[in-house]
Every structure is written in structure tokens, then in C-alpha cells.
Amino acid sequence: MTEALGRVLPGLRHRRRIRNALLHLVLLTASVAFTFPFLWMLFTALKTPAELLQGTAAFFPSVPQWSNFVTAVTVIPFFMYLMNSLIVVVLVMLGTLFSATTAAYAFARLEWRGRDVWFVVMLATLMIPIQVILIPTYILYAHIGWLGTRLPLIVPAFFGGGAAFYIFMLRQFFKGIPKELSESAIIDGANHFQIFGRIMLPLSKPALITVMLFTFMGAWNDFFGPLIFLSNPDHWTLALGLRAFQLQFGGRFDLMMAAAILMVIPTLLIFFFAQKSFIEGITFTGIKG
């Protein structure tokens, strides 16, 4: 019996090793397909226009043209776009944190009439294509003189605009915090505002960070909102700036890739440093949603 096992096991181990090697081969190939475009972007950004026309014959830039990055930020008002992006992003983050945490607390910890109906309504808003509400809001903003300002991108965030996912996520997180904590605080004479501010929020840091990361990515990368509402070039964000760059220098892929890299770097860095929060957030919305 043991003898037979001894003959079978090395064979099994051998087969497993081959299988593992094949698996890694497939996964490595896929990894290259997913990540090589980033490298190619960088190579392109460092090439001369002449090298661009040689395709892979000039695979690496012979002399890295770091000046392409300088050109990219000077031919367009890059830093103005960057400032504009930051203004919108920071305010949207603040607004979303405010409106999402308050609503989530109401849904998770308070009894109020109609709560469950409102909750279903909130989930239903996830299904509605934005175009349906976009047109009247556009008309509304035109009438109150907000078109051409940043307000249509920022103000809705303070009123839960686009926050349904985050409200849901935070509600689940709040529900996971032991009720005894807030009950003993109530006995000690704390009101709901104190419980919210001194117990729930400090204990929810991981969830708050996830919400901030996702709002950052969303607002930083948003193209459609700025395209509709930011008619004044002085308010353009990086996403619109990059589009303007394309319209102006469409053939210069070296410069275009340099500008694109500058816009992508912050999101890549944030993702690398906060991977865990990211992956948890994504899987949360996907599985428990």
C-alpha cells in the first residue's frame, strides 16, 4: 500500500509542477498584456518625433527626451488645469464624505418613519441613466447662472449626488460597530451628534478612507461632467485639458503620452499605496451589493 503510494506521489508532484508552470506562463502573459501599455506609454513619451515613425524598430528611446514632459506642461496651461482638478476633487471629496456619512448614520442607527422606503429609493437611483436627470439639471443650472462655473460639479456632492454606493457601504460598516458603544454613550448623556462625531466616525476610518479614495478617482478622472458644465476654459480640469491637448497636437503622440502620464501618475501612486482599501471596497460593492 505505502509502496504504491510512494510510486504515485512523485508522479502527482511532477504533474502539479507542470500544471503550476503552465499556470504562471498564462498569468505572466496576461500581466504583460495588462501592464505593457503603461511602459509603451512611457517609452513613447521619451521618444523623438522621428523615432515615433519607426514603430518597434526604435523600441527604446535612443536618447530619453525628458524635455517632452517640460513641453507638455508648457504648451497647455497644465498647472492651471491641475489646480482646477484639485479644487473640484477636494470639494467633491468633502461633500461626499459629509452627505454620505450623515445619511448612512440615519440608515444604520436611527429609527425614522419611511426609512426603509427611502433606502429602496436610494438603491433604485443606481439604475437610472444620468441622461434622464441631466437635461433638467442642465436647464436649472443655466437659469440660476451656474453654467460655466464649477458649482454644478461640486454642490451636488454635498447633497448626496452620486453617493448612493458610498451611503450603502458606510451603512453596512456602521451596522457592524457594536451597538453597546453608542448605548452606553447615551446612558452617559451623549446625543446622536456626539455619538456620530466621537464614536462612529473615528471607528470607521477604513471605510471613510475607501470612500475618499473612490471619490478621488471618480472626480479626478471624470470627463463627462466637466465636458457638459465647464464651458469656461479657465475652469477646465486635467481631463478636459488632455482632450484640448489632443485637438491641438493630435499627431504628436510623444507629447500626448507625456501629458497623459502626468495625469495618470497620481491615481497609480494612490492605488499602489492604498491597494488594500481599494480591493476591499470593490469586492464589498460587488458581493454584498
Partner 1 sequence: MKKRAQTLSRMKRQENLIGYLFASPWITGLILLGAFPFLASFYISFTNYNMLSFPRFIGLTNYRILLSSDTIFWRSLGNTFYHVSIAIPLGIVLGVGLALLLNNKVYGMSVYRTMFYLPNVVSIVAMALMWLWLFQPSFGLINEVLSPVYRLLDIEPLRWHQDARLAKFSLILMGLWAVGGPMVIYLAQMQDIPNALYESAEIDGASWVRKTVSITLPLMTPSIFFNFIMGLIGGFQVFTIAYIMTSGGPGRATYYYAYYLFDTMISDQNMGMASAMAWILLVLVLIVTMIALRLNRYVVYLGEES
Binds partner 1 (CB under 8 A): choice among 8, 70, 83, 133 = 133
Binds partner 1 (CB under 8 A): choice among 31, 62, 67, 232 = 31
Which of the ranges 5-13, 62-70, 74-82, 238-246 carries the binding residues for partner 1, by CB under 8 A?
238-246
Which of the ranges 74-82, 139-147, 175-183, 203-211 carries the binding residues for partner 1, by CB under 8 A?
139-147
Distance between CA atoms of residues 242 and 260, nearest Å: 7
Q: How far is the CB of 271 from partner 1 (least distance, A)?
A: 5
Which of the ranges 60-68, 101-109, 168-176, 177-185 carries the binding residues for partner 1, by CB under 8 A?
101-109
| 249 is a site residue for partner 1 (CB under 8 A) | no
Q: How far is the CB of 226 from partner 1 (least distance, A)?
A: 10
Binds partner 1 (CB under 8 A): choice among 99, 182, 204, 215 = 99
Binding mask 58-97 for partner 1 (x = CB under 8 A): ----------------------------------------
Q: Say if residues 50 and 255 touch (Cβ distance below 8 Å).
A: no
Task: Give, in order, the Cα–Cα distances in Å from 277 to each of 101, 119, 207, 212, 265.
Answer: 17, 25, 8, 10, 19
Maximal C-alpha separation, the chain: 87
Nearest alpha-carbon partner for 197 in 184, 180, 182 = 182
Residues from 169 through 228 that contact partner 1 (CB under 8 A) = 192, 196, 217, 220-221, 223-224, 228
Which residue carries 491641475 as its cell? 82
Q: Say if residues 221 and 240 touch (Cβ distance below 8 Å).
A: no
| 273 is a site residue for partner 1 (CB under 8 A) | no
| 127 is a site residue for partner 1 (CB under 8 A) | yes
Amino acid identity of 261?
Answer: I
Q: Say if residues 152 and 95 touch (Cβ distance below 8 Å).
A: no
Nearest alpha-carbon partner for 258 in 44, 40, 76 = 44
| 9 is a site residue for partner 1 (CB under 8 A) | no
| 38 is a site residue for partner 1 (CB under 8 A) | yes
Q: What is the dihedral of CA 130, 95, 165, 286, to 10 degrees?
A: 110
Binds partner 1 (CB under 8 A): choice among 8, 37, 70, 116 = 37
